[in-house]
Structure 1
Amino acid sequence: MKRAEIIVNGLVQGVGFRYYVLRHAQKLGLKGYVKNLFSGEVLTVVEGEEYKIEELFNLIKIGPPMSDVKNAFIKWFEPKNEFTKFEIRY
C-alpha cells in the first residue's frame, strides 16, 4: 500500500476533470479525494496499491476529452489509512 499526491495543471478546471478522476479511482478501488485548487490546478490525494495508483496517474495525464493537461506531478508517501472511499472535495 502507498499514498500519492498528484497535481496537474493546464486546462483542468471546468471540464469535468474531478469527475473523471473520481470515476477512474473508484473503478480501481482506490481511496482518497480530488479537489480544485485556487491556483487553477487539480490535486488528487490517493491511497492504494502502487500499480493501481500508477494506472490512475497515467489516466490523469491524459484527462477527459475537454481538458488539456500540461504537467502532472506525483509524490509518493507512506499511507495514513485515513480514507474510507474516494470522493470529490470542495
Structure 2
Amino acid sequence: MAAVRFVAHGLVQGVGYRWFVWREAERLGLRGMVRNLPDGSVEVLAEGVTEALDRLERALSRGPSVARVERVEKTDVPHDVQLPKTFEIN
C-alpha cells in the first residue's frame, strides 16, 4: 500500500471535479479524501495499491468533460498520516 497527494490545477472547481474524483476512487478501491483549496486547485489524498493510484492519476489529468486540467502535481504522503477509512469529499 502506498499513499500519495495530488494537487490538480486549472478549471477544477465548480465543474464536478470532486465528485468525479470520488467516483473514480471508489471504483478503484482507494481510501482518502478530496477537497477544494483556496487557490482554486483541488487536493486529493489517496491510499491504495500502486496500480490503482496510477489509474487515479491518469483520471485526475483527464477530469470530467467540463473541467480543464492544466497539470497534476504528485507527492508521497508520509506513512504516519491518518487517512479516512473510506473515500470522502470535504
Q: Secondary structure of the equivalent of 2:75?
A: strand
- Is the CA contact (8 Å cut-off) linking 2:33 and 2:45 kept in structure 1? yes
Structure 1 residue runs of 5 or longer lacking an equivalent are: none
Q: Which runs of 5+ in 2 are unaligned?
A: none
RMSD across aligned positions (CA) = 1.1
TM-score, normalised to structure 1, is 0.93
The equivalent residue for 1:48 is 48
CA contact (8 A) 1:2 1:78 kept: no
Please report how far the alpha carbon of residue 79 of structure 1 lies from its aligned counterpart in structure 2 after TM superposition: 3.8
TM-score normalised to the size of structure 2? Answer: 0.93
**In 2, are the aligned partners of 1:3 and 1:45 still within 8 Å (CA)?**
yes
Aligned residues: 89
Q: Secondary structure at the match of 2:22?
A: helix
The alpha-carbon distance between structure 1 residues 82 and 33, as it changes in their structure 2 partners (threshold 3 A), is closer
